[in-house]
A and B are shown apart, each in its own frame.
Chain A
Amino acid sequence: MTDLRHYDVIVSPAITEKSTMASEQNQVVFNVARKATKPEIKAAVEALFGVKVTGVNTLVRKGKVKRFRGTVGRLSDVKKAIVTLADGDTIDVATGL
């Protein structure tokens, strides 16, 4: 039984053109919780997908300011993690968890 905490760390895989390009470098992109740290992400990915992680880079994409009927709103920030896997390991993002 894997630790349930891991599921809170990883929100979803990010499937975009850019992430498809990254997958050629054996990297996988995830949307992760805003508070998640690199070691947490590494632990989570290793536990949930059964792979070896060699590196984690993170970034926070700031939410945009949106106006709806004159009211100013703000989209929430999203933290992304670009996880580099050890040679030979893969994650089939399409199959899900």
Chain B
Amino acid sequence: MQVTETLNTGLKREIKVKVPAGDMEARLVKRLTDAKDKVRINGFRPGKVPMQHLRKMYGKSFMAEVVNEVLSNSARDILSERGEKAAMQPEIKMTEDEKEAEKILSGNADFEFDLAYEVIPAIEIKDFSDIKVTRPVYDVPDTEVDEQVQRVAESARSYEPKEGKAADGDRVTIDYLGKLNGEAFDGGAGQDQPLVLGSKEFIPGFEDQLVGLKAGEEKVITVTFPENYSAPHLAGREATFDVTVKAVEKPGKLEINDETAKSLGLESLDRLKEIVRSQIESQFGSITRQKVKRQLLDQLDKSYQFEAPSNLVEAEFSNIWQTVNRDLELAGRTFEDEETTEEEARAEYQRLAERRVRLGLVLAEIGEKAGVQVSDDEVQRALFETVRRYPPAQQQQVFEMYRSNPNALATLRAPIFEEKVVDDLLGKISVTDKKVSKDELTADDEDEEAPAKPAKKAAAKKADKAEKPEDDAEPKKKAPAKKKAAKDGE
């Protein structure tokens, strides 16, 4: 096998491989001898078939197999020989001329093909110790817990039937039928609907007009839907509702004590508080983690500047671009509405794509060096979690889809891998805790980033922000999966 490099610029490589006809012939003969004792051909006992006849029957198909084998093996061999990693499956170009191909198959011509691929740049893992991250931590004060407990208790509050007129805070049970210009509209009717007056569950004005009604009374009320109502055909319109009050109930006394906790199925008030606290903490904890991760990624991004393989970037970009376009379409907006042009947005996302790919490669490398492993158990758990998000009818189907498709499973594995790498990194870098207020914690990252990208337009940023949550999750999600695919494929 003769290997010659025809192109070596930047990350792109092109290699010409030539396998002499003699080599091919030798491989073919080996295959034929292997098959000799196994095949059954009419007129011959197994193993008694003359070589010539065997070649006539199977020569072509065996040669095709040999060609395939050469193609798949050579890519791997050449890459490992050169000590390079391909970003994606190497592209193979071979003769398209049928006569030429025929000749190769019959073993009369040298087999030649070109390999084109991009290498993953060698990433040198730098010392992590100079990466500094501040972790914003929010201590949940007792008052907030109490507030939350109050809210929980309210939702579990009991109501007692009441004679007389409904007042603010009472719960009424109503049947209602909404009409636009005298015609009933979709979704405007309800039966035996419990409604707490003053809870602002319904559109403004609706509940106010029910105050003072008694059980059994009927009333026609007129309300105007707010301008920003979710259903466009109703927004801003005036509608009448025929309301029948079936029952009026007044709220029971609201006391927060062990009794309330028990009615919620918990043993004591302390336990309730504990649960509420841990819930709030985990909520803020995930925000904290996201912020820390973002800082970490930003710093990694800064310290690892290298040219990312363009076809990976391209793939990532088209992914983002599709999502963005679809989102815009769904929202019925254009780039002009976002105060940007298509070109600008393109450039913006191109940058984003490159950052994702680069971070993905870096994290994959770090993870590999650190020996981060994702166990099958973890993938299994993630799989169940994903499946649970679908409606029960589809669950089985989704499960099967993941089961039978290794690529789909890889997309599950990737985020876990990424999380573990980040965990691993957090243990190695210096993390300083900083107490912050709630507002500071929930403040948008955008403010911090604004000085870094002053040229960016507000709208572009907005779109960018929409991508943010993914930004943290996506880059490594994609790259390791791809890398893996590339490895498998070789």
Contact = CB atoms under 8 A, between A and B. Distances in A.
Interface of A: 14-17, 19-20, 94
B53 A94 contact: yes
B56 A20 contact: no
A16 B52 contact: no
Contacts of B48: 17
7 contacts: A14-B43, A15-B43, A16-B43, A16-B44, A17-B45, A17-B48, A94-B53
B interface residue count range (under 10 / 10 to 19 / 20 to 34 / 35 or more)? under 10
Interface string B10-48: 000000000000000000000000000000001111001
Contacts of B52: 94
B216 interface: no
Interface of B: 42-45, 48, 50, 52-53, 56
Among all A-B residue pairs, the 6 with the closest Cβ atoms: A16-B43, A94-B56, A17-B44, A17-B48, A20-B50, A15-B43
Contacts of A16: 42-44
Contacts of A20: 50, 53
Given A16-B42, A17-B45, 4 more contacts: A16-B44, A17-B43, A94-B52, A94-B53
Contacts of A19: 43
A90 to B, nearest CB: 13
A16 B52 CA distance: 13
A15 B44 CA distance: 9
A16 B43 CA distance: 4
A15 B45 contact: no
A15 B48 CA distance: 12
B203 to A, nearest CB: 78
A41 to B, nearest CB: 20
A17 B50 CA distance: 8
A93 to B, nearest CB: 9
Contacts of B53: 15, 20, 94
B367 to A, nearest CB: 58
A19 B48 CA distance: 12
Contacts of A17: 43-45, 48
B181 to A, nearest CB: 77
A75 to B, nearest CB: 14
Contacts of B43: 14-17, 19
Contacts of A15: 43, 53
B59 to A, nearest CB: 11
B56 to A, nearest CB: 5
Nearest to B49: A17
A19 B42 CA distance: 12
Contacts of A94: 52-53, 56
B35 to A, nearest CB: 17
A19 B53 CA distance: 12
Nearest to A20: B50
B46 to A, nearest CB: 11
Nearest to B48: A17
B107 to A, nearest CB: 16
B441 to A, nearest CB: 82
A15 B56 CA distance: 12
A16 to B, nearest CB: 3
Contacts of A14: 43
A22 to B, nearest CB: 12
A9 to B, nearest CB: 22
B387 to A, nearest CB: 50
